[in-house]
A = this chain, B = another copy of it.
Amino acid sequence: MLYSTIETLKKHQLSITDSRKKILELFIRSKSALAHADIETHSGTEFDRVTIYRTLQTFVEKGIIHTIPTTDNSVRYALCKEDCVSGHHHDDHVHFMCDECGTTYCLDHVTVPKINLPGGFTATQTDLVVSGKCIKCN
C-alpha cells in the first residue's frame, strides 16, 4: 500500500513528501470521492490547509486525481483505479452523488454514452453525474 503511493509519486516525477504520501493514501483507501474538507478532517492538524490545496492542485495537474462536477457546488476529487495510475484522463465514467449521505462514487464500469452536439460545438470532455440514493442509504 505504502509502496504503491511512492511508486505513483515517482511515476509522476514528484518528490516524496509526507503530505503527498498521506493524502494519496487517503485517496487509495477511500472508495469514494474526497472534498478538501474531508482531507483536512482525515489528516488531522497534521498539514497546513495551504499544503492540502497545493497537493491537490499538483495531483490534478499530474493526472493522479481528477475533479468531479457536483450539483451542490463542492469540489470533489477522486482517484480512479488503474486509469489514474497510468495518467489517462477520466472522462469516460459516470459519477454518483448520494443525496442522503453525500458520498460520491466513481462508477468505473458505467460508461458515458456519446452525445450528439449541435453544429459548431465540439466536445473534449463529458461529465455525467447521477444523484439519488446510494447502496448504503437504500
Structural contact, B71 and A71, CB atoms closer than 8 A: no
Give the residues in chain B near A130, CB-CB below 8 Å: 115, 117, 121, 123, 125-127
Count of A interface residues, CB-CB < 8 Å:
37
Query: In the complex, A99→B129 CA distance in Å?
Result: 19
Closest chain B residue to A113, Cβ basis: B113
Pairs A–B under 8 Å by Cβ, sample size 19: A67-B73, A69-B71, A69-B129, A96-B117, A96-B121, A99-B124, A107-B117, A107-B118, A110-B115, A117-B130, A117-B132, A119-B135, A121-B130, A121-B132, A121-B134, A122-B133, A123-B130, A124-B131, A124-B132
- Which A residues contact B (CB, under 8 angstroms)? 67, 69-71, 73-75, 94, 96, 99, 107, 109-110, 112-113, 115-135, 138
